[in-house]
């Protein structure tokens, strides 16, 4: 069993056009719509809102190329898709001051101008977190807290929600040098949203099945027998004898699908095997690489530096291994963790007809809106240089990439209509990163030893 603790989309190619950018106050720096290299401007621009609901142009069961057999390799240039999904951080929280993509508006003092009101109506300004430690059990990404933060697109409820003032905290390149370098070097996706306004379990279920089948919380319900009607991406790969592996440290994400592990015990292996396979050039077609969820996943109350250290080692193994020339690695987060982000999640294609499993007192809602933005970078020799993607993505975009490669039928309506990440790649020209670039080391060289033992003080309301 895994972790026990704790757009507007109208089909492939949907862009940021049509999104409403706004939030608490003076916080939305908008990149131009489309897909291009951008630097976050210093003044805000609001894109006109839209009330149009996404229309599913494709349906579950449809193949990317219906004229060719299921299992046909449509992207032979790519042999290894590697996914490194970490825990609980928003785009603005990690990359808002990157000065690339759509991040914070910076004031004359060089600091973000974003503020949100607390319960008493006093503004709390975005602030640089005092160290790399996090508060225990805060901020909150639970269903009710997330909906309070969203507030029907106003994006003004972060501090008033269960997150409290720490929601306005952010980190910089001084804290996360490897992450900022990675996001400055390879294609950055500044419209990658969580798949739903839920916690870890539902979002990771979207990653592998295109649906959470009603699950909105991190709980043990349904672990043993969870089986979506159309299966998972691992089931689809098994059907065509395509190798995959879930490399795990303490808990595998595939444990969210008990039947999958039972059917494929040899595919769920210790993390040490990832580094051995990467060094030997024998990574499978699809790899899911999991951190230690007890202390290095970056969820509160982890020291985020240990998670960055883990990701740096995973990425470096892919960059330096003999399989680099055929690799696409995606670094991303399952959900925003309760931290502030200024971009309202757009409407989304519901994956199926299963409603959220809400309890008495839960906020009403459906799976027709994405979760909040999360950091996401596409690492590959085929990656477009000096590129920022403004295409709307969610975790089912990874499913769409794998389905496109092997011409597999979509698992749900959501992944059927997802974009498959190919805008960030040039599979036909000379690879821009044929020679793997040198990246700076993480701030903390250790995965197990934190840099700090207690979080610093959190500012409250400003005068």
pLDDT tens string 244-286: 999 999 999 999 988 888 888 899 999 999 999 999 999 999 9
DSSP one-letter code for 41: -
User: What's the whole-model pTM score?
Assistant: 0.91
Say what the pLDDT of residue 64 is. 97
pLDDT recorded at residue 52: 65
Label residues 118-152 b or e (16+ Cβ within 10 Å = b). Answer: beeeebbbbbebebbbbbeebbbbbbbbbbbbbbe
Name the fold adopted by 77-424.
Answer: Alkaline Phosphatase, subunit A (3.40.720)
Dist. CA 314–CA 185, nearest whole Å: 17
Q: What is the pLDDT of residue 225?
A: 65
Contact assessment for residue 171 and residue 304, using Cβ atoms and an 8 Å cutoff? yes
Residue 354 phi/psi, 5-degree rounding, is -80, 125
User: 416 pLDDT band (50/70/90 cuts)?
Assistant: very high
**Which stretches within 301-375 are classed as H helix?**
304-320
- 222 band by pLDDT with thresholds 50, 70 and 90: low
| Main-chain phi, psi angles of 377, to 5 degrees | -135, 140
| In the chain, domain spans | 77-424
The length of the chain, given as a count of residues: 463
Q: Give the confidence band of 136 by pLDDT, cuts at 50, 70, 90.
A: very high
CB atoms within 10 A of CB 313: 16
Q: Contact at 8 Å (CB) between 125 and 448?
A: no
> What is the rounded distance in angstroms from the CA atom of residue 242 to the CA atom of residue 286?
8
Tokens (6 digits) for 144: 């009710």
- Per-residue pLDDT band for 10 (boundaries 50, 70, 90) equals very low
Per-residue confidence (pLDDT) for residue 23, from 0 to 100: 56
pLDDT of residue 305 exceeding 50: yes
The whole-number pLDDT of residue 331 equals: 98
Residues facing 278 on adjacent strands: none
* Cα–Cα dist 195/203, whole Å: 6
DSSP 248-263: ESSS-GGGGSHHHHHH
- Mean pLDDT over 383-407 rounds to 98
Closest to 175 (Cα-Cα) out of 261, 89, 290, 286? 89
CA angle, corner 248, sides to 404 and 264, nearest 5? Answer: 60
pLDDT at 56: 76
Confidence of residue 461 (pLDDT cuts 50, 70, 90): confident
Among 14-18, 239-243, 364-368, 449-453, the range scoring the smallest mean pLDDT is 14-18
Angle formed by the axes of helices 271-280 and 304-320, nearest 10°? 30
Q: Give the residue-averaged pLDDT of 417-433.
A: 97
DSSP strand E in 187-290: where?
A: 188-189, 244-248, 268-270, 286-289
Cis peptide before 139 (omega within 30 of 0): yes
Q: Is the pLDDT of residue 25 over 80?
A: no
């Amino acid at each position: 069993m895994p972790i026990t603790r704790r757009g507007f989309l109208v089909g492939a190619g949907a862009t940021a056009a049509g999104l409403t950018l706004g939030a608490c106050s003076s916080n939305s720096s908008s990149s131009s719509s489309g897909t291009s290299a951008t630097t976050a401007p210093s003044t805000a621009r609001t894109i006109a809102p839209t009330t149009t609901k996404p229309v599913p142009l494709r349906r579950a069961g449809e193949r990317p190329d219906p004229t060719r057999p299921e299992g046909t390799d449509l992207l032979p240039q790519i042999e290894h898709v590697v996914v490194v999904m970490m825990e609980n951080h928003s785009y603005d929280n990690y990359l808002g001051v990157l000065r690339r993509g759509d991040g914070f508006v910076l004031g004359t003092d060089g600091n973000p101008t974003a503020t949100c009101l607390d319960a008493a109506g006093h503004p709390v300004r975005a602030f640089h977190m005092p160290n790399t430690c996090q508060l225990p059990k805060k901020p909150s990404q639970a269903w009710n807290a997330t909906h309070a933060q969203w507030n029907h697109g106003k994006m003004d409820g972060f501090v008033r929600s269960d997150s409290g003032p720490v929601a306005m905290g952010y980190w910089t390149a001084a804290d996360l040098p490897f992450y900022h370098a990675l996001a400055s070097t390879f294609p950055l996706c500044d419209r990658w949203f969580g798949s739903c306004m839920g916690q870890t379990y539902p979002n990771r279920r979207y990653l592998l099945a295109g649906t959470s089948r009603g699950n909105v919380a991190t709980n043990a319900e349904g672990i043993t027998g969870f089986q979506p009607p159309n299966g998972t991406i691992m089931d689809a790969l098994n059907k065509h004898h395509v190798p995959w592996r879930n490399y795990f440290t303490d808990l595998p994400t595939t444990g969210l699908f008990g039947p999958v592990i039972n059917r494929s015990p040899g595919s769920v292996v210790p993390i040490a095997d990832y580094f051995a396979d990467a060094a030997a050039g024998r990574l499978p077609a699809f790899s899911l690489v999991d951190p230690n969820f007890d202390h290095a996943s970056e969820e509160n109350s982890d020291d985020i530096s240990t998670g960055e250290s883990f990701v740096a080692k995973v990425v470096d193994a892919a960059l330096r291994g003999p399989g680099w020339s055929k690799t696409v690695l995606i670094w991303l987060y399952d959900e925003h963790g309760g931290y502030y982000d200024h971009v309202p999640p757009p409407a989304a294609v519901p994956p199926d007809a299963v409603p959220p499993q809400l309890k008495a007192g839960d906020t009403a809602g459906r799976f027709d809106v994405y979760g909040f933005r999360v950091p996401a970078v596409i690492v590959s020799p085929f990656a477009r240089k000096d590129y920022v993607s403004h295409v709307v993505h969610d975790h089912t975009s990874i499913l769409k990439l794998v389905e496109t490669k092997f011409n597999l039928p979509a698992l749900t309506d959501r992944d059927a209509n997802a974009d498959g990440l190919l805008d960030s790649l040039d599979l036909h020209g000379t690879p821009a990163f044929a020679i793997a670039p040198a990246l700076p080391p993480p701030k903390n060289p250790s995965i197990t030893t934190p840099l700090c033992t207690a979080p610093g003080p959190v500012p409250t309301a400003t005068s």
